[in-house]
Structure 1
Amino acid sequence: MRVRTTLSLLVLFSGVGSSCPQATVDPPHPDATDHLIFNSVLALLERWPNTLYRNGHTIVPATIPPGTLLYHGSPYPALPTNREWLAFDFEHAYLFTFATDAPGAAYVTTYATSRALRVAYFDGSSAAKLDDGPMDTQDILLWGEGRPDMYRKDIERLAELCKWAREYGVDGFVRMEYHFEFMLCDFTDGLDVVSTRRLLPRDPYPLPPNGRGRPRTDTSSDAAQHAFTASSAAAREETPQEPRPIPRPEGWKGSLPSASMTYFEAIVAAARHNRAPGETRVRPDYAGLITFYDRAFESLVEVRRGVPRLRHRVANISSADASRAHAEIAQVFRRAPGGGSGVNWGSVARGVVDTYAERLDLLRFLVDPTRSMYRNVTERAGVVRAQLLTMLTAYISLEDVPSLDRDTDAGDRVWAAPIVARCAESQTAHFLLDTMTPQERRIRDAVQGTQTEICRRLGTMWLDAFDIQVWTDEDKISKALGRWRREVGELMAWLGWPEWVRCEPACGVGSMCYVATWPFWLGDDPTDLSPRCISRSDPFGMNEGSLAVVD
């Protein structure tokens, strides 16, 4: 959906040949992706939405600023010099300090970036070791096609990514598993060592339960997942072994940090980046955002049609479209950072969500007769009208009020068109297109299309609501409320904002809201992303008589 002028909206709301009092004409095209691009921009580096929609469609250049602290955990004292993984939070790095061949050793090195590091960020759960789409964008960047044989070969994948990075002056890559991670190609350039500490070893017991849908057994293979030495790389291919009890440090009393709670504290650290502002230590360059939701990639349009977003696959791209994607990627990453308009498009998208998410949620509650406290339809219609007026007041001028000779009850809709036009263009009309990169124009169109559909739906409801307080026919009022319920429901489903995915009722102090993500709690149905409350004290159900899931 592209920019609509006031004149075009006048035509849309004129309702020529229509006797329906709703403005139901010209909904978004069935193949429209404005809302999907909008959501991708909104969700960059936020853990919650990238868990819900794990098959990412975005590649964006980004920077990690000077002075940023990063962490590397290992059971070995030697520091990496070549390509390796870094964590943004200590708790994540601490996971990787155990190996069966080095019991009792736990080293965490803290680094600080000595300059801005240039990175490529892949959205979605792009580090999840699943073969159904999370790594598609990396495959297309590297090989132009999906490589399901590579989805568990992370050491080899990092080597190939770093070969690509050398051509474009890229230092590394940011991905998300259950937490964000940084894949760095050269530890000798851009990092200063702040400290290396031998810390308390973590006890390998109690283990998180083994099996599908549970954390991985803590073996030498798992503990070496991000290790850099030849021995630890080889350990990935070894048959998993039961970890041996480790000796307590001399003078230590009581238990050590357990494996299960060490895993869980990394999950808790990740959850701190669930929602805005997300992972702030990585700064995306919106002027270079590449999205495979651009309808110019025609081969992906038809295969998405009617398919839930969780199952959208970039790997379905044609070779011709993959070549076009490679050309755009090369053009973006060869461009000097900091170009374009300088608009913070993430903030623009966040402003739209902040304005409407809670209000639409309230509107859905008010129009639902099973939930609303207002059982009387006349009273409920008045309350809904007040909420619609609140959402549209900024766009209604005195000149828009229909004159007394207009029969608004008979389907005259033109009078509301200027209101909808102002609302639709409120976020984007002031931007100058000639300052924007092609990627920014795509984002601008997505914001415009998303805002337009919000305003079209609100305008449709307002045409009914404007004079509903003078209606006397309760059956007619009930039918209007039914139409509004449908409008709100369809709008919220189309928008698909993660703000509406939450634990209800909210979790108590002793638990936290969580959505299954690899490798934790993915059950027999990996598409079941229902939020649930999990116990903070016993998240994996290790203690006798306790349940991991408390809802």
Structure 2
Amino acid sequence: MGLVSWSNLAVLSCAALTRAVNGAQIPLTPPLSSHFLKSTTPAQWDFNVTPDLNSTSHFIFDTVASLSQHWTNARYRNGHNIVPGTVPLGTLLYHGTVKHEVPAAPEWTATDPEHSYLFCLSAPTKDGSSSSCWHLTLVVTRPLKVLDFDGSSAAMMYGGSMDTQDIVTWGEVKPDWTFSERKRINELCEWGREFGLDGFVRMEMDFEIMLCDFTRAVEIVSFLNLNSSMKGGGHRPPSKSPGRKPSFELAPSFAWPNDGPSSILQYRVIEAGVWHNTYPGETRINLDLNGLISFYDTDLFPSLAVARFGQERWKHRLQGLSVVDSKAFQTRIREVLEQIRHPGSGIDWSTLIRVIVDRYAERLEILQYLLNSTSTADQAKRVQGHLRSMVVPYILHTSVPNSDFTNHSWALPVYEYCASTHTRYISSTPSILTRMTKSESLILRSVQEVSKEICRVVVGMWAEGVELGLDAISPASLPSLKFESVKIINAVRRWHERTEGLMAWLDWSVWVKCRPACGYEEICYLPTWPYIPGRGPHGPHPPRPDVGQSRVQAQLQGADDGEEVSVLPQPKCIRRVEPFTGI
């Protein structure tokens, strides 16, 4: 029997509820959220039915779960989400400069002073002396209206980190304008003026806000003439062009040194980024998920499903966005920004997703650990006990095996309740569904599909263990339940493959950590721009004018000097006290 009656949803639009699901890609829309909870049927709750190969629900789930968090967005530099948000009243922002002048044009501000101080370089004066840096501190006097680009969206390098900004500003990816930061900020701010946007949120070593107007919604707290520990040592002023964001291309000594004042300061900005590694992330940016736009939305951007087919997630980009889909994006972003105050359903999606992650992340990791041990009958009992503990809130009194073990049919209610318990109320309440924004329906679908796949695998393994006689739930009188070591060991091997497959599909960055754990004088660090291993401090360089067209094209696709840039960053231990080594 299903969890909800279809008749309960009759108040919704018939056309919306019966929208067809066509093609390999499953459109992520409100009707499918309701469709998910139709009455239980073998097709709906079949342990052998895996997610569609083209499903992007796990990508949507993980990117939404990782918003404003440094760790995952450093791991996957190419962002796919654009989210409206606000910066609260009283928030401090910081700007490092070589001039005692409040910027008259759009400029970059940091959320932590360690970050802005790196750009507060000493500049030589006309008489040859050196002037100390100027450090501007601002306070937000009313909530700033901002647009957030996820991923490492401030990483000035080829490979896709700037794609979402290109789509917003120019309607297409412009790899040859990757380093055109002044053009980018000016045109973004010009574009955002119509919607009353005050700035744009991006991430590199730490988070920054591209502030469009230093005279609106902010006031000066201080403008200090600081002593710069960054002077000398080969550092140069960022540019003679006023207002240009300093580039690490112009400061070669920003390569990681082993000791000295510069190394301490550079470590401090990395440390500031680490503060925001995990949930809740950078809390000074309040994102409104009611207006989230995801380029993993296959209903809105079907052309990208074709472009990324067969690619690893690390290489997903927006270069394949069609002209039609680009126009659809412009329509959607306009809807979002013009209706930014839409109240939505009232569901706290960030918390709901966090509940799912907290519930399963560590338990799946422990399951993986147990299954990596020697496959013995005793070990199988330990695994079975762990599996049972994961699903015990959903094991009904009537959930016991009978003489028919076909597809674990007796365990289907356990599978269904496990998969739907967190979203059942939302999906069965018409008043909530009718208030949902398109963004919320997208998120709901991702939560449903991720929960379903987790429970399909976990409950399926538990049910098999019950049938093998590993669980006390099994009535001893059933002759078919025999404790056979060979079958059990083979089952455990299958469980190992299924667990590895599930965790690879989910790909939660909480499982990406330093092994073994770092010592007390170290931190676990995920390499991020501009400290790209093996590529100097700047990552890929812009094409040189003397190289051939084929080399330029290779670079624009993510390759530098014939080598592959797209290598997934791996965590490592670096020192947090002198001498600073390991970056």
Cα distance in structure 2, aligned partners of 1:416 and 1:479: 21
Matched with 2:353 is 349
Cα distance in structure 1, aligned partners of 2:71 and 2:339: 31
Q: Kindly provide the amino acid, as one letter, of the partner of residue 362 in structure 1.
A: I
Change (3 A) 1:264 1:239: closer
Cα distance in structure 1, aligned partners of 2:359 and 2:446: 17
Cα distance in structure 2, aligned partners of 1:359 and 1:479: 22
Matched with 1:439 is 439
Alignment of 1:18-33 (within 5 A): 23-24=47-48, 26-33=49-56
Say if 2:168 is the partner of 1:141. Answer: yes
Question: Which string of whole-angstrom CA distances, capped at 9 and with x for unpartnered residues, describes residues 315-336 of structure 1?
Answer: 2101111111111011101113
Classify the secondary structure of the residue corresponding to 2:223.
strand
Change (3 A) 1:97 1:278: same
Cα distance in structure 2, aligned partners of 1:239 and 1:63: 33
Do the aligned partners of 2:111 and 2:209 also contact (CA within 8 Å) in 1?
yes
> Which of 309, 315, 327 in structure 1 is aligned with 2:313?
309
Do the aligned partners of 2:56 and 2:296 also contact (CA within 8 Å) in 1?
yes
Question: Which string of whole-angstrom CA distances, capped at 9 and with x for unpartnered residues, describes residues 372-398 of structure 1?
Answer: xxx471111111111111111111121
Q: CA deviation at 1:236?
A: 6.8
Change (3 A) 1:401 1:154: same
Cα distance in structure 1, aligned partners of 2:486 and 2:253: 69
Say if 2:406 is the partner of 1:407. Answer: no
Cα distance in structure 2, aligned partners of 1:516 and 1:9: 47
Matched with 1:523 is 534
Cα distance in structure 1, aligned partners of 2:69 and 2:243: 31
Do the aligned partners of 2:78 and 2:314 also contact (CA within 8 Å) in 1?
yes
Cα distance in structure 2, aligned partners of 1:236 and 1:382: 57
> Which of 45, 50, 54 in structure 1 is aligned with 2:73?
50
Say if 2:459 is the partner of 1:459. Answer: yes
Change (3 A) 1:412 1:126: closer
Classify the secondary structure of the residue corresponding to 2:137.
strand
Q: Kindly provide the amino acid, as one letter, of the partner of residue 83 in structure 2.
A: V
Alignment of 1:466-505 (within 5 A): 466-468=466-468, 469=470, 471-505=482-516
Q: CA deviation at 1:366?
A: 0.6
Question: Which string of whole-angstrom CA distances, capped at 9 and with x for unpartnered residues, describes residues 384-426 of structure 1?
Answer: 1111111111111212233xxx225x43522111111111111
Classify the secondary structure of the residue corresponding to 2:524.
strand
> Which of 219, 222, 235 in structure 2 is aligned with 1:218?
235
Cα distance in structure 2, aligned partners of 1:201 and 1:323: 47
Change (3 A) 1:423 1:90: same
Question: Which string of whole-angstrom CA distances, capped at 9 and with x for unpartnered residues, describes residues 338-385 of structure 1?
Answer: 52112221111111000000000000011112xxxxx47111111111
Runs of 5+ consecutive residues of structure 2 not aligned to the other structure:
1-25, 27-31, 427-431, 471-480, 536-563
Do the aligned partners of 1:202 and 1:257 also contact (CA within 8 Å) in 2?
no
Q: Kindly provide the amino acid, as one letter, of the partner of residue 416 in structure 2.
A: A
Q: Kindly provide the amino acid, as one letter, of the partner of residue 536 in structure 1.
A: R
Q: CA deviation at 1:75?
A: 2.3
Matched with 1:98 is 121
Matched with 1:117 is 144
Do the aligned partners of 1:203 and 1:257 also contact (CA within 8 Å) in 2?
no
Question: Which string of whole-angstrom CA distances, capped at 9 and with x for unpartnered residues, describes residues 499-524 of structure 1?
Answer: 01010111111111111111113325
Do the aligned partners of 1:203 and 1:258 also contact (CA within 8 Å) in 2?
yes
Question: Which has the higher mean CA deviation after the structures are superposed, 43-52 or 66-75?
Answer: 66-75
Do the aligned partners of 2:105 and 2:243 also contact (CA within 8 Å) in 1?
no
Cα distance in structure 1, aligned partners of 2:152 and 2:244: 23
Change (3 A) 1:349 1:260: same
Give the share of equivalent positions with the same residue, in percent: 37
Do the aligned partners of 1:6 and 1:417 also contact (CA within 8 Å) in 2?
no
Cα distance in structure 2, aligned partners of 1:233 and 1:538: 33
Classify the secondary structure of the residue corresponding to 1:121.
strand
Matched with 1:336 is 340
Do the aligned partners of 1:125 and 1:134 also contact (CA within 8 Å) in 2?
yes
Question: Which has the higher mean CA deviation after the structures are superposed, 341-350 or 317-326?
Answer: 341-350
Do the aligned partners of 2:408 and 2:464 also contact (CA within 8 Å) in 1?
no
Say if 2:7 is the partner of 1:7. Answer: no
Runs of 5+ consecutive residues of structure 1 not aligned to the other structure:
15-22, 208-216, 244-255, 370-374, 542-547
Q: CA deviation at 1:428?
A: 1.2
Classify the secondary structure of the residue corresponding to 1:323.
helix
Do the aligned partners of 2:400 and 2:410 also contact (CA within 8 Å) in 1?
yes
Q: Kindly provide the amino acid, as one letter, of the partner of residue 220 in structure 1.
A: P
Say if 2:312 is the partner of 1:285. Answer: no
Classify the secondary structure of the residue corresponding to 1:315.
coil
Change (3 A) 1:378 1:143: same
Cα distance in structure 2, aligned partners of 1:451 and 1:235: 44
Change (3 A) 1:358 1:241: closer
Cα distance in structure 2, aligned partners of 1:348 and 1:338: 20
Q: Kindly provide the amino acid, as one letter, of the partner of residue 157 in structure 2.
A: L
Question: Which has the higher mean CA deviation after the structures are superposed, 115-124 or 504-513?
Answer: 504-513
Q: Kindly provide the amino acid, as one letter, of the partner of residue 293 in structure 1.
A: Y
Alignment of 1:253-268 (within 5 A): 258-268=261-271
Say if 2:105 is the partner of 1:82. Answer: yes
Q: Kindly provide the amino acid, as one letter, of the partner of residue 195 in structure 1.
A: S
Change (3 A) 1:106 1:55: same
Classify the secondary structure of the residue corresponding to 2:319.
helix
Classify the secondary structure of the residue corresponding to 1:31.
coil
Q: CA deviation at 1:458?
A: 1.1
Cα distance in structure 1, aligned partners of 2:235 and 2:209: 22
Matched with 2:29 is none
Change (3 A) 1:430 1:12: closer
Cα distance in structure 2, aligned partners of 1:237 and 1:363: 44
Q: Kindly provide the amino acid, as one letter, of the partner of residue 96 in structure 1.
A: F
Cα distance in structure 2, aligned partners of 1:9 and 1:504: 44
Question: Which has the higher mean CA deviation after the structures are superposed, 286-295 or 72-81?
Answer: 72-81
Question: Which has the higher mean CA deviation after the structures are superposed, 162-171 or 531-540?
Answer: 531-540
Classify the secondary structure of the residue corresponding to 1:86.
strand
Cα distance in structure 2, aligned partners of 1:449 and 1:335: 28
Change (3 A) 1:233 1:283: closer
Classify the secondary structure of the residue corresponding to 1:70.
strand
Classify the secondary structure of the residue corresponding to 1:399.
coil
Matched with 2:377 is 378
Change (3 A) 1:6 1:386: farther
Cα distance in structure 1, aligned partners of 2:347 and 2:387: 30
Change (3 A) 1:234 1:475: closer
Cα distance in structure 2, aligned partners of 1:386 and 1:240: 57
Cα distance in structure 1, aligned partners of 2:137 and 2:207: 17
Q: Kindly provide the amino acid, as one letter, of the partner of residue 129 in structure 1.
A: M
Question: Which has the higher mean CA deviation after the structures are superposed, 510-519 or 36-45?
Answer: 510-519
Say if 2:297 is the partner of 1:294. Answer: yes
Paired positions, count: 497
Q: CA deviation at 1:481?
A: 0.1
Q: CA deviation at 1:11?
A: 3.9
Question: Which string of whole-angstrom CA distances, capped at 9 and with x for unpartnered residues, describes residues 133-157 of structure 1?
Answer: 1111111111111101111111110
Question: Which has the higher mean CA deviation after the structures are superposed, 1-10 or 191-200?
Answer: 1-10
Say if 2:277 is the partner of 1:274. Answer: yes
Classify the secondary structure of the residue corresponding to 2:523.
strand
> Which of 75, 84, 89 in structure 2 is aligned with 1:61?
84
Change (3 A) 1:341 1:239: closer
CA RMSD after TM alignment: 2.4
Cα distance in structure 2, aligned partners of 1:352 and 1:168: 35
Give me the TM-score of the superposition, normalised by structure 2: 0.81
Give me the TM-score of the superposition, normalised by structure 1: 0.85
Cα distance in structure 1, aligned partners of 2:79 and 2:105: 28
